[in-house]
Structure 1
Amino acid sequence: MTPLTDTTFDLKTYLRNQKQRVEVALDASIEAGYPETIYEAMRYSLMAGGKRLRPILCLATCELLEGTEVQAMPTACSLEMIHTMSLIHDDLPAMDNDDYRRGKLTNHKVYGEDVAILAGDGLLAYAFEYVATQTQEVAPERILRVIGDLGQAVGAAGLVGGQIVDLASEGNADVTLETLNYIHTHKTGALLKVSVTSGAVLAGADDAQVNVLSQYADRIGLAFQIVDDVLDITATSEELGKSAGKDLAAQKATYPSFWGIDESKRQAQHLVEEAKADVLNCFGNKARSLVALADFIVNRTH
């Protein structure tokens, strides 16, 4: 494995600067309009904070392939719109029934279930419109590929499919590790994966490069969920910004329920080490941001 020799890379500064750029772009992406309530509800959840990990992964991958922020930022924003939609809908009483998200009242608690559903729908539709109309300096065929990949990631072959199997598995003592992996490679992993690959496609990556980045993203996506499952047990609601212990209360299968906490942490670390090796072997030290982001995923505390 090619060693990561650049010890000057400051992840904390990198995350702060990238997040600030994303926040500015998101704030400009949706202006208030009529009917005011739907725009307010969309902006309420979109601008509620969070790590902005998916947009940052998109920007980092585009930069790795010598693309530009101008090329990637509309897609980066659309990824956060789609992610926000999934959180709004996931928090509804018909799904996980949560009152708090990112330390604030969930959308349906502020605007009602009807408006929350429509706010999620509005963000999902606008995400695709935004990529199609705002992307600059990218060949049309690349934009079309990104739109297609986004659709697959969020639909029945991705996030929606994972959520369906997740709901069907609640309270089922016979859930297998294979089923759990299916749930999370789709419900969580699919959007993380397209966050990485879309940045590469926009920058003009070849198929071999996209395949390496896809494998990297598969590994960090699964590691992300394993860490989430551990934090649901070990972190407080204040640390999480949402209700802790929800998985246990809903009788959901989790990685700690199969492996225990210590082995779950070890498995997540192993996945991250493999992901780092993937990109270092292909891109060398140019992949330092992706390496640091992989470490961030496994070491985060909220």
Structure 2
Amino acid sequence: MRYALRGGKRLRAFLVLESARLHGVGDRAMPAAAAVEALHAYSLVHDDLPCMDDDDLRRGQPTVHVRWDEATAVLAGDALQTLAFELLTDPVLGPAEARIALVAALARASGAEGMVLGQALDIAAETAPVPLDLQAITRLQAGKTGALIGFAAEAGARIAEADPAPLAAYARALGLAFQVADDILDVEGDAAKAGKRLNKDAEAGKATFVSLLGLAGAKTRAAELAEEACAALAPYGDDAAILCEAARFVISRES
């Protein structure tokens, strides 16, 4: 479990902590930040398994099933998933109602309405008679990548028992920008910097934002989404400048 949590950008944890700072509850948000990282790490461990994406490299190190074996990887992922929900029961996060709301939000974001749905759609696309169109790819990625980013960005508002709507709008644009940037990296990134195998989608014949929009079009769309994310933060004024910079970082990153 510790091995699976090593490295990475910690973007989701950052979003939890920064959204919490924005609402004056930054001192209470660490268990939620740890929870979303545990949940994300579980998803990567399982996503890398031979029955899914069959990857041998993650965050610059051998994947868990390569380092140990498939059974250990399944169990480590299971344990990280349950740990995420245990962390959200920490009383520091607030009254019981607030903690229940966080648990429910993470369950929706990671389950059959969110990340798991996105992964199922991704697997189905591999054997689809025709490649997915832009609308279908957007729906797929809204679950696979965007839902957990949405939970993270909204967590601070939920801890503060405030309206999460502006952060939800921010997260929708941010999550899609993140995936468009991932598709761009898969084409022109450096595997050593990315810490994972690249060009997988092209080899598998999958439709991506790059295959549908072209490389230049995908870069333009990523930039537009980053600016949409920043615009959604207008209610917070200059206090949200760091979150806006995060949106711009997402589309310029190398890993």
Same fold (TM over 0.5): yes
Which residue number corresponds to residue 4 of structure 2? 45
Partner of 1:277: 231
Confirm or deny that 1:147 pairs with 2:100: no
- Amino acid of the residue matched to residue 252 of structure 1? K
Other-structure match for 2:68:
111
Q: Tell me the SS of whatever aligns to 1:136.
A: helix
- In structure 2, relative to structure 1, the CA distance for the partners of 1:137 and 1:87 (3 Å cut) is closer
Q: Distance between the aligned counterparts of 1:117 and 1:102, measured in 2?
A: 18
The structure with the largest alpha-carbon Rg is 1
Of 217-226 and 247-256, more deviation after overlay is shown by 247-256
Give CA-to-partner distance per residue, 1:44-98, whole Å, 9 cap, x none.
Answer: 111x2110000000000000011123x1100100100000001000100011111
In structure 2, what is the equivalent of residue 245 of structure 1?
199
Equivalent of residue 42 in structure 2, options 85, 97, 116? 85
Q: How does 1:61-100 map to 2 (within 5 A)?
A: 61-69=19-27, 71-100=28-57
Question: TM-score scaled to structure 1, two decimals?
Answer: 0.82
- Where does residue 26 of structure 1 map in the other structure? none
| Contact 1:171-1:252 at 8 Å conserved across structures | no
**1:238 deviation in Å?**
0.9
1:262 matched to 2:225: no
- The answer (yes or no) to whether the contact 1:170–1:253 under 8 Å persists in 2 is no
**Identity fraction in percent:** 41
Cα distance between partner residues in 1 of 2:217 and 2:76: 39
Q: CA separation in 2, counterparts of 1:290 and 1:204?
A: 20
Q: Displacement of 1:252 after TM fit?
A: 1.3
Q: CA deviation at 1:137?
A: 5.3
Is this contact kept in 2: 1:101–1:241, CA < 8 A?
yes
Is the Cα–Cα contact under 8 Å of residues 171 and 250 in structure 1 kept in the other structure?
A: no
Secondary structure at the counterpart of residue 204 of structure 1: coil
How far off its partner does 1:182 sit?
0.9
| Structure 2 Cα separation of the partners of residues 171 and 225 of structure 1 | 21
**Aligned partner letter, 1:268:** A
Is the 8 Å Cα contact of residues 68 and 203 (structure 1) preserved in structure 2? Answer: no
Unmatched tracts of structure 2, length 5 or more: none
Q: Does 1:168 align with 2:121?
A: no
Alignment of 1:226-241 (within 5 A): 226-241=180-195
Query: Would you say the 8 A contact 2:191–2:197 is kept in 1?
Result: yes
Whether the 8 Å CA contact 2:131–2:207 is kept in 1: the answer is no
2:141 pairs with 1:187: no
Partner of 1:13: none
Equivalent of 2:241 in 274, 284, 288: 288
TM-score normalized with structure 2 length = 0.97
Q: How many residues are treated as equivalent by the alignment?
A: 254
Whether contact under 8 Å (1:171, 1:251) holds in the other structure is no
Q: Distance in 2 between matches of 1:246 and 1:87?
A: 15
| Aligned position for 1:28 | none
Q: 2:160 aligned with 1:203, yes or no? A: yes
Deviations 1:120-154 (A, max 9, x none): 0000011101111x241512111110100000001
**Unpaired runs of at least 5, structure 1:** 1-41
Q: Is the 8 A contact 1:232 1:244 kept in 2?
A: yes
SS in 1 for 2:92: coil
Letter in 2 for 1:85: Y
Runs (4+) off by over 6 Å: none
Distance in 2 of aligned mates of 1:93 and 1:144: 35
Matched, 1:297 2:238: no
